[in-house]
Structure 1
């Protein structure tokens, strides 16, 4: 398989295609456009110019970095593309973090994908820290 990795954010259409392909539901295009616009960095993987994977970083670009939307079309999963995306995202964080400071890197993993992220040193700290969030539903 020949693929290309692009250091860029996905377009709204690419984001929607990959988001829905991995079963995360549907996403409003206007909301996705705003979210993507406020991202720090992104990666898109293509095969024959078609998007097959993505990942991005949001945060304050100093101390807090959150990995978002790491998604690979199901037919392309298991070929190392997710690893390539994670390596690019983590390299960005390494370059941006302060030399004498810490960098907090967080993410939410889809159920069953925890081991994938653990291979990059990302751990579930549930016994010492509690990841908490809420989702504000549509009005």
Structure 2
């Protein structure tokens, strides 16, 4: 079994790019991701022998609204419980807050069941998750 180490920090731009692309999410503009990473509230990076194998982070207002972003595990390390560990760290950060917290995320295809184990659910037809993308 590999010797995993969990670091409570935001991924570096290169770690983020490597894990993003390894997860099959396409290529990423590192100038854009640098700004996004710098404005993250909290993050977790999992390493094996100092090499990144997983990540996750939180964005939001750090008060009432939180969004879980970029939970990714290298394909060779999937199914070992790393996603669960990452999500537990992220949710523990949010739960430290007083009062209500609205927590959102978009799940990759076929990953709904994983997030449902943590209390996330599809609220349709009463609520619909929507988004748009602006490109300049």
- Settle same-fold status: TM greater than 0.5: yes
Q: Look up the match of 1:80.
A: 81
- Structure 1: runs of 5 or more not aligned: none
- What stretches of structure 2 of length at least 5 have no aligned partner? none
1:43-54 alignment, distance < 5 Å: 43-54=44-55
- Quote the residue 1:28 is aligned against: 29
Question: After TM superposition, what 4+ stretches of structure 1 lie above 2 angstroms from structure 2?
Answer: none
Aligned length: 135
1:1-139 to structure 2, matched below 5 A, reads: 1-95=2-96, 97-98=97-98, 101-137=99-135, 139=136
Q: TM-score, normalised by structure 2?
A: 0.97
Please give the root-mean-square deviation of Cα atoms over the aligned residues, in Å. 0.7
TM-score, length-scaled by structure 1:
0.95
CA distance in 2, matches of 1:108, 1:67: 8
* Matched residue SS, 1:56: strand
Superimposed CA distance per residue, residues 88-137 of structure 1 (whole angstroms, 9 cap, x where no aligned partner): 00000001x22xx2100000000110001001001111121011100113
